Structure 1
Amino acid sequence: MRGAPAGIVYGGLKYQARCIADVTADSDHTSFLAGTLSLKEENEVHMIRLSPSGSELVCEGLFYHPNEIWDLKSCPFDPRIFSTVFTSGETYGASIWKIPELYGQSNAPQLEQLVSLDEHSFKIKCVLWWPCGKHDRLISIDEGNLFLWSIDTSNKVAKVISQESVGMLHNLSGGAWDPHDRNAVAGICDSSLQFWDLRTMTKTTSIEQANVRDLDYNPKKQHLLVTAEDVSGIRLWDLRRPKFPVKELPGHAHWTWIVRHNPKYDELILSAGTDSTVNLWLANRPGNDDLVPESMFDVPTQSKDSLLNSYTDYEDSVYGLAWSARDPLVFASLSYDGRVIVESVKSYIRRK
C-alpha cells in the first residue's frame, strides 16, 4: 500500500450522523449532503462543497430537519431535491424535500416538503432513486414491503403504483436499483438477496446464504454487483451465475457496513465499517466481460493484494460513503461522530 496525503476535514456537523450523499445533479461543483442523527436536538442537513482550489470544504447551506435522519439520497436530476427516511420515537417516515432557491441568503432557511411517502405500516429502511437520469418513479422499502411510486415533484404528488410483500417470515433491510435496467431492483432480505422485476413485482432470482448489510451495482458492467457481508467481508457477484461469488475481498476487522463502486473506474471499490476504517480496493474481475467458465465460480478468488489503501483518520465507526460523480477521483466519508473527510484517489489510478 502507498501512503496518501491527509484528507480535507469538515467539522461542521454538531451531532452524530450516518448519512452522506453526492449531489450528482450539481455539474458545476463537487457537493455532498449530510444529515444528522440527534435524538434530542433539532437535526440538520448540511450542503458541503469542495472549494474551487480543492483545499477546503465549505458549508454552502444549513437546513433544519425535524427528525433523526437514517437514510438520505440526493435526486439524480435536480440538485435541490433529496429524500430522507427519519424517525421520531417509534414512528418512521419518508419524505422528499426541496432546498429553497435563496438558501444562501438566510441563516436557517426552511426545507420545502414536496411529498410524504406515508403508505408504509412497517419501519421504513430506505428510498431509492433510479441513478441514471430523470425518471418519474421512486422506490421505498420497509421491513416487510417494497413500494413503487409515481412521483410528480412539480405538483407535489406521490402515488403508489404497486406493492410487493416479502411475507411475515422475512425482513427487508435495504436495497439498490439496477442502473442498467430501470425495471430491476435488489432487496436485502435476511440471509439472502432478492431480485424483482418492477413491471410485474415478481421475483426473478436470488442469492442465498448472503448476510448482506449493503450492496452496489457495477455502474459500467451489467449483471455485476458488490456486497458487504457480516462474515465474508466483500463479495463480487455475477447475476448470470448467482450460486457463487466471482471474488471475495477480506473486508474489515469488524463489520463491513457499506460498499461503493467508483462511478467511472468501476474496478475501484470503497468500503467502510465499524472498525473506524475506510478501505480502497482494486477489484479486477477475472476474465473479460463474457461469462467466465462455471468452474471459476466454485472457489472465490481471495485477493489480499487488492487493498490499495486504508484510511484510518477516524475515531468512530464509518457508516457513510459517497463518490463524487462530477470528479470520480474524489470521495467523501462520514463517521458516526459527524466528521466528514474528503479524499482523492488520483495517485492510485495509474496502477490500473
Structure 2
Amino acid sequence: MSFSMTHQARCVAPQIAEEQRPRFFVGTSSVFNGPSAENEVGVGRTSAFELRLLDFDEDENEVSTQTFPHKNQIRHLAPSIDKPDLIFTCHQAPTPKLNACASLYLLSAIITNDHDQKLANQSGMLTELLCIESCDRVAGINKIFWDPSGDKGRVVAVGTRSLGLYGIDRGLSKGTLESSLSLSNFSDFQEDTIDCAKWNPHNLDEFAIGAGSTLLGLDLRSSKSTFQITNAHTECIRDLDFNPNKPHHLATGGNDGKVRIWDTRNASKPVKELVNHTHYVWSVNFNRFHDQLLLSSSSDCLVHLHNAVSVSSTPHGLIRSLDEDVDREEGVMDEIKTTDELIATYREFEDSVYAVSWSTADPWIFASLSFDGRVNINIVPRDVKYSIIL
C-alpha cells in the first residue's frame, strides 16, 4: 500500500503505545513542490510542516490519516513507549538563526470512525508540554530517545558533537540537563559529528553512537566508552539498531552501501555482512518479535528485507518452507535447514529511502519512507511468515 505525503520527509516511526492497529507517524522536513495539500479531502492545511499519523487497514489495504500541523521542519521522531498521545519531535526552523531543539507534544484527541476504528482523515492539534533547547553543552539537538524501560523521567538528547541525559519532571513540563558527554573528550573524534545513535535496550546505562566511520558505546554514568569499533564501515555510519532479543548485537548501515551485524564483545570483524545495496544505507531496523527479520533502506531507492537467521536469537531452530508441489491452501510444510537470504526487494520508490520501521502492533507489517514523501506499507510475504511461526 502506498501513500503520498504533500511534503518531503525523512523520518517515520511506529505509534509504539498503540497495540491494536498498525499506525505510523511521519514527520515532514521541507515543503514539497508538488500538488497543494489543500487538494486532500478532509485535511486542512494551516502549517508548512506537519506530523501525520497513518493507520493501515490490512483487510481493505487502505490508509487513513490524521494530520497535526507542526511549526518547524521535523528531523526526528520519538513516540512515547506507553502513551499513544505523547511524542517528542526534534525540529528546526528554516532560518539558521534558531537552534535545533526537541519538543514534547500532547496530541489532541485522535478521531476515529465508530464502526471500524479507522482514522477520520481530519486535522488535529499539537500542544507543546516542554522544550529541550540546544545549549553550549548539547548543541544542535537533532535526535532524542526515551528511556527504553518506559521511564518517562529520562531522555537522551543527541546534538552535533555531544549528547545530554535529561531528567523530566512528573508533570512533563520541564527537562533538566543532568549530565552531558562530548566527542571532544575522545582523541579519535576531533572532527567527526554524531550521525546516528540508539539507547541499548539490554543495558539502560549504555548508549551507542556512530561518529564518522567509528561505532562507540558510552556509559551514561561514567561518561567512559564501553566499546569502540574503529572503521566499522569504510565510510560514514548512517544508522544503527540493537537486536531487541540478543544482547551485545547490533546492526549498522553506512555510506559504503553495506549492512553489518556486530557482537560488541568481540568486534574485530562483523559477525555478518550484507552487501545488497549500491549506495548509502540510511536505515536499518530489526523486527522486535522475530529478530532474524532485518530491514534496510538506501539512496539506491531500494528497501531490502533480510533473513539473518544465523545471527538471530534462535539460530539453531528449523525453518519451514512451503512445498511448491502441494496446494498452498493446504499449508503442507517441509522442514529444511536454516539459511540466510535476501527475502524480498521493494523497488517502488523513485527517491532515496531514508527510513524503515516495523509496526509494534503487528510484527508482519512495516513502513518505508522516501525523501519525496512516499510512504509504502508492506506485509512480510506469507510463506516467510508461515516458515517462522509454524
TM-score clears 0.5 = yes
Instruction: Output the CA distance in 2 between the equivalents of 1:102 and 1:330.
Output: 22
Q: What's the offset of the Cα at 1:174?
A: 2.0
Q: Which residue of 2 aligns with 1:200?
A: 222
Q: Does 2:54 align with 1:48? A: yes
Tell me the C-alpha RMSD between the 2 structures: 2.3
Q: Does 2:90 align with 1:98? A: no
Does structure 1 conserve the Cα–Cα contact (< 8 Å) formed by 2:130 and 2:172? no
Does structure 1 conserve the Cα–Cα contact (< 8 Å) formed by 2:308 and 2:340? no
SS at match of 2:385: helix
**Cα pair distance change 1:288/1:344, threshold 3 Å:** closer
Q: Does 2:129 align with 1:114? A: yes
SS at match of 2:51: strand
Give the residue type in structure 2 aligned to 1:150: G
- Structure 1 stretches of at least 4 aligned residues deviating more than 4 Å after TM superposition: 102-107, 286-290
**Cα pair distance change 1:252/1:52, threshold 3 Å:** closer
Q: What's the offset of the Cα at 1:287?
A: 9.4
Q: What's the offset of the Cα at 1:27?
A: 1.4
Give the residue type in structure 2 aligned to 1:308: I
Give the residue type in structure 2 aligned to 1:200: S
Q: What's the offset of the Cα at 1:57?
A: 0.8
Instruction: Output the CA distance in 2 between the equivalents of 1:26 and 1:329.
Output: 15
Instruction: Output the CA distance in 1 between the equivalents of 2:16 and 2:283.
Output: 19
- 1:190-213 Cα shifts (integer Å, max 9, x gaps): 220111111222211111102311
Q: Does 2:73 align with 1:68? A: yes
- 1:27-78 Cα shifts (integer Å, max 9, x gaps): 121111111112596101111111263521111x211101111111211111
Question: Of 143, 147, 164, which aligns to 1:126?
Answer: 143
Question: Of 9, 13, 16, which aligns to 1:17?
Answer: 9
Instruction: Output the CA distance in 2 between the equivalents of 1:27 and 1:288.
Output: 23
Q: What's the offset of the Cα at 1:164?
A: 0.6
Q: What's the offset of the Cα at 1:332?
A: 0.7
The worse-fitting range, judged by mean Cα deviation, of 225-234 and 281-290 is: 281-290
Q: Which residue of 2 aligns with 1:261?
A: 286
Instruction: Output the CA distance in 2 between the equivalents of 1:322 and 1:115.
Output: 26
Does structure 2 conserve the Cα–Cα contact (< 8 Å) formed by 1:125 and 1:174? no
Q: Does 2:386 align with 1:350? A: yes
SS at match of 1:196: strand
Q: What's the offset of the Cα at 1:305?
A: 6.2
Question: 5+ residue gaps in structure 1?
Answer: 1-7, 291-303
Does structure 2 conserve the Cα–Cα contact (< 8 Å) formed by 1:208 and 1:243? no
SS at match of 1:38: strand
Q: Does 2:218 align with 1:176? A: no
Q: Which residue of 1 aligns with 2:262?
A: 237
Does structure 2 conserve the Cα–Cα contact (< 8 Å) formed by 1:174 and 1:188? yes
Does structure 1 conserve the Cα–Cα contact (< 8 Å) formed by 2:79 and 2:86? yes
Question: 5+ residue gaps in structure 2?
Answer: 33-46, 113-119, 185-189, 316-338
Give the residue type in structure 2 aligned to 1:95: S
Q: Which residue of 2 aligns with 1:295?
A: none
Q: What's the offset of the Cα at 1:133?
A: 2.8
> What is the number of equivalent residue pairs in this alignment?
330
Q: Which residue of 2 aligns with 1:277?
A: 302
SS at match of 1:124: coil
Q: Which residue of 1 aligns with 2:43?
A: none
* TM-score under structure 2 length normalisation: 0.79
Does structure 2 conserve the Cα–Cα contact (< 8 Å) formed by 1:146 and 1:163? yes
Does structure 1 conserve the Cα–Cα contact (< 8 Å) formed by 2:249 and 2:263? yes
- 1:117-163 Cα shifts (integer Å, max 9, x gaps): 11434322311123343342101111121100112363411111110
The worse-fitting range, judged by mean Cα deviation, of 22-31 and 89-98 is: 89-98
**Cα pair distance change 1:107/1:247, threshold 3 Å:** closer
